[in-house]
Amino acid sequence: MKALILLMLLAGLLFPLRAQVFIPVMVNPPPLPIATAGNDTSVSVGTHLVLNASHSGGTAPFSYRWSPGHLLNDSTVLNPTFIAGITTLFTFSVRDASGCEASDDMLVTVTGVGLNDISERQIKLFPNPAFGKLNISAHPGWTDPVTLSLSTILGEQELHYTGMIPASGLQWDVSHLPPGIYLFRISLSDQSRVQKIILL
């Protein structure tokens, strides 16, 4: 027994225990991206408005996305062009190389919209507010083709028509659409106008 104890003491002297030392390492991840869509603005109908987005932080390379993109000439760049037709809430998103994403909104209010400039051609949209049905009529002597569309306030198109307005007029069934404010656009060869419509 004494020999075993002596052997253990000698082993401790020859092979001392190694103490484990933990060294803390601070890892600073790159800052997350921050998106700035730009300030809310108001423009007159037909204006060619360049949206000026910017961003900071994140890790390059970056990718960009604007929504709704179909209203812009290029929804994947920092500075797309919007031809002002309807009031639109745009969302700008930036994604960095790590997959981190940030977004920001801006509202473009379009003024001067309405059918007043086309009234001499006697295009009528009624009733407003509307419930279930929306009627479009034109003067009996009408000869020009038109493009008509009904969109949400955010630019999502719900109804569309291209062609002549018949003598009996057009009637759209809007009973399936949720109540709210919509934008009715009429486009002729030389002008385009938007009218706010309330669906009940």
Q: What is the pLDDT of residues 148-186, one digit of tens each?
A: 999 887 778 899 999 988 888 899 999 999 988 888 888
pLDDT at 166: 86
In the structure encoding, which two tokens stand for residue 142, read together? 């009408």
| Domains of the chain, residue spans | 34-111, 116-199
CATH class, range 116-199: mainly beta
Residue 192 confidence (pLDDT) above 90: no
Residue 72 confidence (pLDDT) above 80: yes
**CATH topology classification for 34-111:** Immunoglobulin-like (2.60.40)
pLDDT at 142: 72
Q: Whole-number mean pLDDT of the chain?
A: 81
Confidence of residue 20 (pLDDT cuts 50, 70, 90): low
Helix (H) or strand (E) holding 63: strand 63-67
List CB contacts of 26: < 8 A, sequence separation 6 or more: none
Residue 113 confidence (pLDDT) above 90: no
User: What are the CA-CA distances from residue 185 to residues 18, 130, 133, 156 (Å)?
Assistant: 81, 16, 17, 12
Pairing mode, if any, of strands 180-187 and 170-173?
A: unpaired
Helix (H) or strand (E) holding 106: strand 101-111
| DSSP3 helix / strand / coil % (the chain, rounded to 5) | 10, 40, 45
Residue 118 confidence (pLDDT) above 80: no
Q: Identify whether 129 is preceded by a cis peptide bond (ω within 30 of 0).
A: yes
Nearest to 198 by CA among 182, 174, 178, 176: 182
